Amino acid sequence: MLSDTQRTLDLDRAHVFHSWSAQAALNPLAIAGGMGSEVWDFEGNRYLDLSSQLVNVNIGYGHPRVVRAIQDQAATLATVGPAAANLTRGEAARRIVEKAGPGFEKVFFTNGGADANENAIRMARLYTGRDKVLSHYRSYHGNTGSAIASTGDWRRVPNEYARGHVHFFGPFLYRTEFWAETEEQECERALRHLHRTIQAEGPESIAAVLLEGIPGTAGVLVPPAGYLAGVRELCDRYGILLILDEVMSGFGRTGTWFSWQSERTNPTGVVPDIVTFAKGVNSGYVPVGGVLPRGDIARHFDDRVFPGGLTYSGHPLAAASIVAALDAMTEEGIVEHAALIGRDDLGPGLAALAAKHDVIGEVRGLGVFWALDLVADRDTRQPLPAADIARIKATMLAEGVLPFTADNRLHVVPPCIITPAEVVLGLAAIDAALSAL
């Protein structure tokens, strides 16, 4: 009789088509269960999750309050169409609006982050009467038509079927495109580059600038303190909407409910016109995402039909998981805990590893949102080869830690509930993996 592991892998390889992958070479880990910041396989091997799967399990695995809410809702009303009014959906929307703060009134629910960005772009185009959307080259916004065209990385190139998308470089001092030597220079020159792009494209043709609150998959690129304010000023000057993609950076990941609420990234308190979210809003327990338009943008459609919708918009199981997750995060101080863990444990611990290992070129992040830029040479900043990244992943798995890697980077993005003791274990695994090089 086959083991559960073998049955899982056999079924996976026979019938599951994986995303972003050449199928023949795959050898996935068979995960059987999870609780807190850990998962385990069928043999009982336990792994500390420093990936939060896809940077979405913010509240951790198996939170009893969220599990119970989904069970109760399934027993009461398992599904309902989006045209109906539903109490749980309304409660979820109210809580999200409250976390976003003044200026926001309503939520358009989607099935995930990609279609949240898709519908935010649609809103911006309809509200402004303009077409173009500007976004960073170093970005990821999802795998639907306009979302993938807005994405800047390699995945955009074979998928550019949507119209009206223009890219520009955002600030990233460690690998500057602007020959900058300081954060201030990088910020000033990146804003000038954006300004020139707006002028060259024709301001009257641009509906929105779409930015990740903190670019995540691109490397946890924490923007300079003045960047968001500078983008806001340019958008206001030319009547362009500012959309912030908080799919990865929202709901505790940065130690605040949304990354734009962090004093480090936004000391002047700039507020976006439209916000998109998913992932951490319910820690991925049920697929869900959404769009938060500024109040006047939402009211623009009071007497105009918004030509967008999804069968499962505001699905009651997803809504119940949002209510329970946000209530638990609030009452248990999980967002505040993430901020403290980043300040007192992860940040200092990763800095200590950088002092020990020359392969770490730069440490970036805040809260539970960090990345190590790994280099073959600190002077030239040449990225570490893919073969070495694969060795790091293998060693960390052998040490009982789930890693998240992208290009030459190791992202350290655990659940917001990770404990100081678990941080020590995770840092030890990273230390062992880098030492093994």
Mark whether 273 and 195 lie in a shared domain. yes
% of the chain exceeding 70 in pLDDT? 100
The C-alpha torsion from 255 through 257 and 259 to 264, rounded to 10°, is: -50
Q: 8: pLDDT confidence band, cut at 50, 70 and 90?
A: very high
- pTM equals 0.97
The DSSP H or E segment spanning 394 is helix 386-398
Distance, CA of 368 to CA of 413 (rounded, Å):
5
Give the number of other Cβ atoms within 10 Å of residue 428's Cβ: 15
In this model, does residue 344 exceed pLDDT 90? Answer: yes
% of the chain exceeding 90 in pLDDT? 99
Domain final residue, candidates 331, 361, 379: 331
In this model, does residue 168 exceed pLDDT 90? Answer: yes
Range list of β-strands (E), 142-186: 165-168
Q: 30: pLDDT confidence band, cut at 50, 70 and 90?
A: very high
Mark whether 251 and 369 lie in a shared domain. no
> How confident is the model over 196-250, as pLDDT tens digits?
999 999 999 999 999 999 999 999 999 999 999 999 999 999 999 999 999 999 9
Summary mean pLDDT of the chain: 97
State residue 2's pLDDT score.
83
> How confident is the model over 398-433, as pLDDT tens digits?
999 999 999 999 999 999 999 999 999 999 999 999
Contact 395, 433 (CB under 8 A): yes
Mean pLDDT of 310-337: 98
Helices (H), 213-361: 227-238, 295-299, 316-331, 334-341, 347-356
Mark whether 275 and 408 lie in a shared domain. no
Q: 47: pLDDT confidence band, cut at 50, 70 and 90?
A: very high
In the chain, the N- to C-terminal Cα span, in Å, equals: 40
> How confident is the model over 105-156, as pLDDT tens digits?
999 999 999 999 999 999 999 999 999 999 999 999 999 999 999 999 999 9
Distance, CA of 142 to CA of 306 (rounded, Å):
22
Query: How many domains are there within the chain?
Result: 2
Strand, helix or coil at 19? Answer: coil
Give the number of other Cβ atoms within 10 Å of residue 134's Cβ: 24
Mark whether 285 and 271 lie in a shared domain. yes
Side-chain-side CA neighbours of residue 254 (13 Å): 27
Q: 100: pLDDT confidence band, cut at 50, 70 and 90?
A: very high
Give the number of other Cβ atoms within 10 Å of residue 211's Cβ: 24
Cβ contacts of 259 within 8 Å, gap of 6 or more: 213, 214, 244, 246, 249, 250, 253, 265, 266
DSSP, res 61: B
> How confident is the model over 259-314, as pLDDT tens digits?
999 999 999 999 999 999 999 999 999 999 999 999 999 999 999 999 999 999 99
Domain final residue, candidates 331, 361, 393: 331
* Domain encompassing residue 17: 4-62+333-435
Mark whether 277 and 217 lie in a shared domain. yes
Mark whether 345 and 386 lie in a shared domain. yes
DSSP, res 104: B
Mark whether 82 and 54 lie in a shared domain. no
Mark whether 211 and 314 lie in a shared domain. yes
Short-list 212, 199, 204, CA closest to 242: 212
Mark whether 170 and 256 lie in a shared domain. yes
Per the structure block, which two tokens stand in for 184?
Answer: 């201030």
Which CATH number do you get for residue 363?
Answer: 3.90.1150.10
Mean pLDDT of 65-87: 98
State residue 134's pLDDT score.
98
Distance, CA of 403 to CA of 414 (rounded, Å):
9
The phi, psi pair for 85, rounded to 5°, reads -90, 140
DSSP, res 273: S
Domain final residue, candidates 299, 331, 363: 331
Distance, CA of 397 to CA of 145 (rounded, Å):
35
Mark whether 250 and 265 lie in a shared domain. yes
Mark whether 111 and 203 lie in a shared domain. yes
State residue 1's pLDDT score.
80
Which CATH number do you get for residue 77?
Answer: 3.40.640.10
Mark whether 143 and 282 lie in a shared domain. yes
Range list of β-strands (E), 225-312: 241-245, 274-277, 289-293
